[in-house]
A and B are shown apart, each in its own frame.
Chain A
């Protein structure tokens, strides 16, 4: 019995080491899992809310369309996916028309896009021209209309429209669902303060 008691201590201590290591690992992993996977923190220089009376870049990050057109027909002949593109209308003016994303139901657009050939040729880039989203002045009740289409050889098929109210957007990524009667599944949109510093803008863009 005495001999057994002697050997209990080393076993207990090793057990405590393994138990503490396992417990700490479990707690850390649980904390990591509880974080939202697409958590985005705004850079410190950007106000945490959308401020009325300020200019914002309106970034359409992602568009997802339903598998079929409004009339129930496939998007393209031959079964290929839609060629998605969109335009933004503000104060009755088309302020932005996007590039198209071919044969996909989910399309993404980057905020910054540089012409590499131009970059190599001139060794400089004008950041303002590299930002591929429009700038809008956010007032109470401002409405920006987002029109989404499938580009076709003959004529574009309308997927639908969404009215974006920039003054109601939250900081970070906002997910809007398509209105009934449209072929839009969801749209991810983000308003970015136009006064954002370049490093912060790059930080935001890199968190795709």
Chain B
């Protein structure tokens, strides 16, 4: 039981590190292309043809600066706030269970909130599909930031399942130990 909780703590720490790194690492590179006009566009407007790389946070900041504040706020909430708060709640729940108490509302909140954490990955996936379908050969490459973010979300989901199991075991053990 104690070992299981240590594993959960370790998982949460790794998920937190990967989440932080994933938010500021390069997440995608957009390589614009203009089909048969590529050469001329390169000559006349070279800036338009240069590949640009964004991290998740840079992408959100760019959306905000470009006037898409509602989408930027939505993405910030689901890709930065939700996963971070979820990890904090799970840390709280793990600490409570390790002290022999019930995880209380924190684990339930974390479990439900976690479902929204993958939204960002979903948005990126849709963006990739959308841009891959554009004419002219423009393409988008996913970079390490997306994978770090996705692994962090997956690890926190796994930690959540482990914690639920650990709590059930602790509850069962205390039921058996209680004198009749």
Contacts and interface: CB of A to CB of B under 8 A. Distances in A.
A14 interface: yes
Nearest to A12: B91
Contacts of B21: 20-21, 23-24
Chain A interface SS verdict (over half): helix
A72 interface: no
Interface residues on A, range: 20 to 34
B28 interface: no
B89 interface: yes
B94 interface: yes
B24 interface: yes
B25 A28 contact: yes
Interface string B2-41: 0000000100110011111101111000000000001100
Interface in B74-125: 84, 87-92, 94-96, 99
Interface in A1-51: 2, 5-14, 16-25, 28
Contacts of B25: 24, 28
A16 B38 CA distance: 44
A206 B95 contact: no
Interface stretch (B42-50, B134-142, B164-172): B42-50
Nearest to B88: A10
A199 B37 CA distance: 11
Contacts of B84: 14, 17
Contacts, number: 92
Nearest to B25: A24
Nearest to B18: A20
A198 B95 CA distance: 64
A202 interface: yes
A46 B90 CA distance: 55
B157 interface: no
Contacts of B153: none
Contacts of B60: none
B57 interface: yes
Contact of A9 (B18, B49, B91): B91
A202 B24 contact: no
B99 A9 contact: no
A203 interface: yes
3 tightest A-B contacts by CB? A20-B20, A206-B46, A9-B91
Interface of A: 2, 5-14, 16-25, 28, 112, 114, 198-199, 202-203, 205-208
22 contacts: A7-B95, A13-B12, A13-B88, A14-B87, A16-B16, A17-B16, A17-B23, A20-B16, A20-B18, A20-B19, A21-B19, A21-B23, A21-B24, A22-B24, A23-B20, A24-B20, A25-B55, A28-B26, A198-B39, A202-B39, A206-B46, A207-B46
Given A5-B99, A21-B24, A202-B42, 10 more contacts: A2-B99, A6-B96, A7-B92, A9-B12, A13-B87, A13-B88, A17-B16, A17-B20, A20-B21, A28-B26
